[in-house]
């Protein structure tokens, strides 16, 4: 049983990493797809109760945001592995501008996310990923 938790601003390769490395092994929990916290919580609960490996593919910028997934997973005996997708903001903005119109994040959203990002980089279960793409 494993929770894989992604952290990083938009356009740093989190979803690409999921598709290339976890698609066949882990359920994807993604707020952008689910659109509400209620739906997200239902999927999270199903994964935990079903003892299913899952990935939380969100920005998860703050410790508080990450805790909403980590605490219930650990309580259920899941191993938690974190991936930090580090990127310069300029590079993320460049990659974001290359996305399709419906997938593009407003520039101010990427900048705001960058300002909120808080990661303790020396955690034993946190792996640092250079940006994909």
Please, what is the average pLDDT of the chain?
92
Query: What is the reported pLDDT for 133?
Result: 38
pLDDT digit string, tens, across residues 13-30: 999 999 999 999 999 999
- Alpha carbons 109 and 55: distance in angstroms, whole number: 23
Query: What is the reported pLDDT for 119?
Result: 87
The domain spans of the chain are: 2-130
pLDDT digit string, tens, across residues 20-69: 999 999 999 999 999 999 999 999 999 999 999 999 999 999 999 999 99
Maximum Cα interatomic distance, the chain, rounded to a whole number of Å: 41
pLDDT digit string, tens, across residues 92-107: 999 999 999 989 999 9
Q: Which CATH architecture has domain 2-130?
A: 3-Layer(aba) Sandwich (3.40)
């Amino acid at each position: 049983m494993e929770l894989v938790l992604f952290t990083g601003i938009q356009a740093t390769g989190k979803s690409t990493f999921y598709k290339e490395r976890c698609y066949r092994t882990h359920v994807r929990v993604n707020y952008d797809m689910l659109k509400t916290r209620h739906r997200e919580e239902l999927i999270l609960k199903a994964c935990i109760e079903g003892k299913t490996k899952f990935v939380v593919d969100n920005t998860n910028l703050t410790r508080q945001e990450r805790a909403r997934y980590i605490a219930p997973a650990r309580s259920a005996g899941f191993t938690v592995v974190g991936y930090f997708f580090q990127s310069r903001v300029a590079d993320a903005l460049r990659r974001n501008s290359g996305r399709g119109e419906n997938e593009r994040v407003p520039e101010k959203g990427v900048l705001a996310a960058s300002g909120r990002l808080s990661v303790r980089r020396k955690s034993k279960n946190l792996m640092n990923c250079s940006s994909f793409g």
